[in-house]
A and B are shown apart, each in its own frame.
Chain A
């Protein structure tokens, strides 16, 4: 019983990995079920954030000298920003073609105007 309480209340690497897993699954879930394109993009950002938590947790617990995970996390944040900018630009062009934010309206693709 005491061990279980320690496992719950004594914060270790396990807790951060568990949090990242839950956030990643929520992001994956949102990506699958959302019909709004913007909401799909937000869910993808959740998945990127979960991966960042893993990077920083592992670096903080195992790599106190070089901190490679911190550096990679910053690279990953830059990738996330770039991905969002490109995705929103493409979304705007698609929106001008079909005037809709619903993903199901794009199942047949967009016409030649885009």
Chain B
């Protein structure tokens, strides 16, 4: 079987960056470093999307998760920065160890489940499937436009309504607080 070395290297590079920066984000001492590591995770995820042929999703991922959402977080950090100290905000109570233990057991059981299903059932060989048919770019835009404006047009309109409700709702939250403080 011929192995595409370049694709393998790129995949492992992005995958390693995702895992490394995700761990760094959780265990970072300061929240700003945590946010920067999270941005790196989102950019590396966009690289994974690009490998999978989802160029448009990669661009949207960079624009929204890589740029827009971190700006929201930076605003929140700026508003609360004078109250933040440099103490690491990770709990070392029993729930830390139990969660670590539980996640480890869950992880191992999932791996065991996959291995058992592969060995017992020949129908589950789909999980080892290779990507043989590459996605045409015109076909991708055709499929996306058909998905948004034909197949899932109702969901698309509902999302636009949801965004409107969120904008109005957040403004109303602040208004309610102002009215309460006046009283």
Contacts and interface: CB of A to CB of B under 8 A. Distances in A.
Interface of A: 6-7, 9-17, 19, 21-23, 25-30, 32-36, 38-39, 41-43, 45-46, 49, 52-53, 56-57, 59-62, 64-68, 70-71, 73-75, 77-82, 84-86, 88-93, 95-96, 99-102, 104, 113-114
Interface in B1-56: 1, 3-5, 7-8, 11, 15, 18-19, 22-23, 25-26, 31, 34-35, 38, 41-42, 45, 48-49, 52-54, 56
B173 A89 contact: yes
A66 B79 CA distance: 44
A60 B65 CA distance: 21
Contacts of B170: 85-86, 89
Contacts of A101: 31, 80, 83-84, 89
14 contacts: A9-B5, A10-B1, A11-B8, A26-B23, A39-B26, A43-B26, A56-B52, A57-B52, A62-B126, A67-B139, A71-B144, A74-B148, A81-B69, A90-B173
A77 B61 contact: yes
Contact of B69 (A65, A80, A90, A114): A80
Contacts, number: 227
A9 B98 CA distance: 34
Given A23-B22, A93-B177, A13 B128 contact: yes
Contact of A100 (B7, B69, B83, B143): B83
Given A12-B130, A86-B170, A33 B65 contact: no
A23 B35 contact: no
Q: Sorted from nearest, which 10 A-B pairs have the closest CB atoms? A: A71-B147, A36-B89, A67-B143, A30-B26, A35-B89, A32-B99, A60-B52, A89-B170, A26-B22, A42-B38
Interface in B77-99: 77, 79-80, 83-84, 89-91, 95-96, 99
